[in-house]
């Protein structure tokens, strides 16, 4: 779990980033309490997008139907709390950015895949409304995930979605 208890106290008291980084590298990422106390960054993000897309022309979106198996939990796909947390978080972030949900005439479609076990992964995919071309993809992988606590699980999903959508619409840089 943890080899040097004194380093935790030093990291918290001083707020020193290098001490915090050293502490974070020494603890087991499954020890969520210690990871949280020290403020260790366990969320790893990656993004890709189609560089020839005019993202400023996108205004409305809709959710793609959820195929079986997009969440690896034991609950029914359509009734999963995690599904609701993901879609609610995405809807809220996109609304904050000025996008609107329009099931009848969307400019782009959104789908997701999530693995919400100990080492969780959430991937968001945005496609043209005709479903023929991927526009943007963001993936969050978290090494320390509180799978047994629903409130903490929901908060981690909201955090992952928020961090992912900070990069949408994309600036120039990487591409698909």
Question: In what order do the strands lie in the sheet containing 108-115?
Answer: 43-49, 134-142, 120-128, 108-115, 60-63, 100-101
Whether 110 and 126 have beta carbons less than 8 Å apart is answered as yes
Cut 0.75: pTM above it: no
Give strand pairing partners of 122: 114, 140
Enter the DSSP assignment of 147.
T
Q: Mind listing the domains of the chain with CATH numbers?
A: 5-38 (no CATH), 43-165 (3.30.160.670)
**The token pair that represents 84 in the structure block:** 């609701």
Full 3-state SS string of 55-116: HHHCCEEEECCCCCCCECCCCCHHHCHHHHHHHHHHHHHHHHCCCEECCCCCCEEEEEEEEC
| pLDDT of the chain, 176 residues: tens digit per residue | 445 555 555 555 555 444 444 555 555 544 544 445 545 557 889 999 988 899 999 999 999 986 655 555 444 344 578 999 999 999 999 999 999 999 999 999 999 999 877 678 999 999 999 878 999 999 999 876 555 678 878 888 999 999 999 999 997 544 55
Q: Which residues of 85-108 are buried (b: 16+ CB within 10 A; e: fewer)?
A: bbbebbbebbeeeebeeeeeebbb
The count of C-alpha atoms lying within 13 angstroms of the C-alpha of 92, restricted to the half-sphere facing its C-beta, is 12
């Amino acid at each position: 779990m943890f080899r040097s208890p004194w380093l935790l106290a030093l990291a918290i008291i001083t707020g020193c980033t290098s001490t915090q980084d050293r502490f974070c590298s020494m603890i087991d990422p499954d020890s969520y309490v210690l990871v949280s106390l020290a403020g260790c960054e366990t969320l790893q993000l990656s993004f890709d997008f189609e560089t020839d897309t005019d993202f400023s022309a996108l205004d409305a979106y809709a959710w793609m139907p959820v195929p079986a198996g997009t969440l690896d939990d034991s609950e029914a796909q359509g009734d999963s709390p995690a599904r609701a947390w993901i879609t609610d978080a995405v809807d809220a972030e996109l609304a904050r950015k000025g996008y609107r949900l329009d099931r009848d005439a969307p400019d782009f479609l959104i789908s997701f895949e999530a693995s919400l076990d100990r080492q969780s992964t959430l991937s968001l995919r945005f496609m043209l409304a005709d479903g023929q071309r991927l526009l943007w993809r963001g993936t969050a992988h978290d090494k320390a995930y509180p799978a047994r606590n629903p409130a903490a699980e929901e908060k981690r999903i909201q955090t992952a979605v928020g961090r992912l959508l900070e990069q949408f619409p994309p600036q120039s840089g990487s591409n698909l």
